[in-house]
Structure 1
Amino acid sequence: MLRHVITLPGHQNPVYALTTSADQDVFFTAGNDKGIVEWSLNQKAFVKVLMPVKSSVYSMVFDGQLLFSGERSGTVNVFDLATSQLLSSFQAHEKPVFDIKVVAEKNEFLTSSEDGTVAIWSLKDYSLLYRINIAKETVRTMSISNNLKELAVGTKAGIICIYDLEDYALLSQFQAHDLPVTSLQYSPDGRSLLSGGRDAQLKAWSLPEYTQTQHIPAHLYSIYSIAFHPVLPYFATGSQDKSIKIWGAENYKLYKILSIEKGTEGHTHSVNKLSWSADGRYLLSTGDDKLVMIWEMI
């Protein structure tokens, strides 16, 4: 199903952020180093340090021709890949920025933070449009439904909040995990929301009622990343337990474990972020071991 292609060194510290781009060949990573790194997927090699940063990068997303990154300092950077220019760098939050989502259809992007808020920004001039006070503590993860109707937000208290993406009105909230929610992802078919927690549990919530349909003890420690395959009915989970697991998106069957402990290639420390290439041929992974791994579907 998946085979290890190559392990790429280059970072000197743990890697927390990873994103692919519109260009099938290019992807980016960042973490405790002082820069965002560009890689070639075709060449499977380091390309360059794209831009310097002043503090650790905890979140990153590519949209259009823009690369958004969120730092531990609360700073958000907007970098134009077409012109190789930093368009904006501003203090978005008082504490670390843990997630970023872009809603191009609304000319907006969203940031979530350890300060317990989600901020909505204009894509036109990067001005603050609205700030939602979600919780007293960390808002680590967000996900936007495929029909662009709803925003799911996970909190340190283990609560998932559902907001109307049109006016950001709170639609519902429910206790999802006993410990913090560390990953969220709507399924491509629009039928469910998956959540992973520090309690190592993977749960599925059916839409539109958000009724729990699956409760799987998927990992030994926190589930930090959930990534659906762009074409095939599979999804991957990455965990603090150093493993990557491949699941059936329809039956939730466990198909593959990528872990040194299971006799495969794998990370030696926490897996922090997963991302599929746009064509679904490759799965990319990064973690606390400072490494980038490329896996190929076979």
Structure 2
Amino acid sequence: MNSGVPATLGVRRVKFFGRHGGEVNSSAFSPDGQMLLTASEDGCVYGWEARSGQLLWRLHGHTGPVKFCRFSPDGHLFASASCDHTVRLWDVARAKCLQVLKGHQRSVETVSFSPDSKQLASGGWDKRVMIWEVQSGQVLRLLVGHRDSVQSSDFSPTVNCLATGSWDSTIRIWDLRAGTPAVSHQVLEGHSGNISCLCYSASGLLASGSWDKTIHIWKPTTSSLLVQLKGHVTWVKSVAFSPDELRLVSAGYSRMVKVWDCSTGKCLETLKGVLDVAHTCAFTPDGKILVSGAADQTRRQASHTTKSPRATQT
């Protein structure tokens, strides 16, 4: 873990994204930080120009609320997961649906791309995890083991492992180097509530947020818990590392977004400018912008976090 001291943050509201027809369930920045993707309860996926806040497109196709969205690391595609039991793969440049991935039996709650953008993992209320080949849309692996809904997932930076978090209060690290169909896995236990969100750092640390109101930062290679973050008064809905791994941002099911020192576990900032329940949070690739998606369908807020308290608005 990086032992550097995080710089002082300057925080201000800079953009509103306010044309959703329902709650914002998820948001994601494109790898270059130029586009913001939001998934809405209204069944649509929205694309925004991050700097201006201009709506680029509103995509229909799902027949139920969109629960999660994520860009591929190469920036060419994005995926959306829905209550309609499907995952959709979209072309960014054309804003067009390329494939509808069918196989889940209940709502799909999470999707994640492998670092090389060639595989996609999905999980949901059917307790199963499916790994798809992006190019063909074929199922490569079916991972079974969780005893309750799979709510979160993330590939390790090396593509060798996939982390999944479940309402069975466990995290499973699946070793994808093992032969098909047998896949070995390790179980990380320590949370006393449902696992609601997961995020790998670039160096391979893993952050997990839970209904027990805490965040754990793990070293998966040794199954060790490095630090526990306490301070949220409600369950943790979203977590994200800053690119330099000095900070972690978390959104609780409340009006608060917190910024933490990853080394000490100390809360550096509590951002109270969110207008409604903070459903999601994410850093831009340069670590200077933090976006939070709120539950109020008419108002969306982005918060600007910089190393300078007097930084100007972008």
TM-score by length of 2: 0.86
Q: In the alignment, is residue 158 of structure 1 matched against residue 169 of structure 2?
A: yes
Query: 2:54 — aligned with what?
Result: 45
SS in 2 for 1:12: coil
1:202-213 equivalences in 2 (<5 Å): 202-213=215-226
1:268 paired residue among 270, 276, 289: 276
The 1-side partners of 2:33 and 2:175 are apart by 32
Change (3 A) 1:220 1:94: same
Match for residue 131 of structure 2 among 106, 117, 120: 120
Letter of the 1:134 counterpart? G
2-structure distance, mates of 1:69, 1:252? 32
1:262 equivalent in structure 2: none
CA RMSD of aligned residues (A): 1.9
Residues in 2 aligned to 1:213 and 1:138: alpha-carbon distance in whole angstroms: 26
SS in 1 for 2:165: strand
Structure 1 letter corresponding to 2:27: L
Aligned residues: 291
Q: From 37, 40, 59, give the equivalent of 1:28.
A: 37
Deviation string, structure 1 residues 60-82 (Cα, Å, up to 9, x no partner): 11113111101111111111122
1:178 equivalent in structure 2: 192
Q: How far off its partner does 1:131 sit?
A: 0.9
User: Contact 1:78 / 1:88 at 8 angstroms: preserved in 2?
Assistant: yes
Aligned to 1:252: 265
Larger proportion of strand: 1
Give 4+ residue runs of structure 1 displaced > 6 Å after superposition. Answer: none
Identity of aligned residues (%): 21
User: Which of 1 and 2 has higher RCO (CA within 8 Å, sep 6+)?
Assistant: 2
1:293 Cα deviation after fit:
1.5
What are structure 2's unaligned runs of at least 5 residues? 1-8, 307-314
Residues 51-200 of structure 1: pairs in structure 2 closer than 5 A? 51-63=60-72, 64=74, 65-103=76-114, 105=116, 107-167=118-178, 169-190=183-204, 192-200=205-213
Query: 1:239-287: CA deviations, max 9, x gaps?
Result: 102210001122222110011xxxxx22322x12112122222111113
| Secondary structure of the corresponding residue to residue 208 of structure 1 | helix
* CA spacing shift, 1:13–1:147, aligned 2, 3 Å: same
Any idea what the Cα deviations from partners look like across 1:110-162, whole Å, max 9, x if unmatched? 10111101001111210112211132320101122223332211111101111
The CA distance in 2 between the partners of 1:92 and 1:286, in whole Å, is: 29
TM-score (norm 1): 0.91
Q: Distance in 1 between matches of 2:115 and 2:230?
A: 35
Equivalent residue in structure 1 for 2:24, among 15, 18, 26: 15
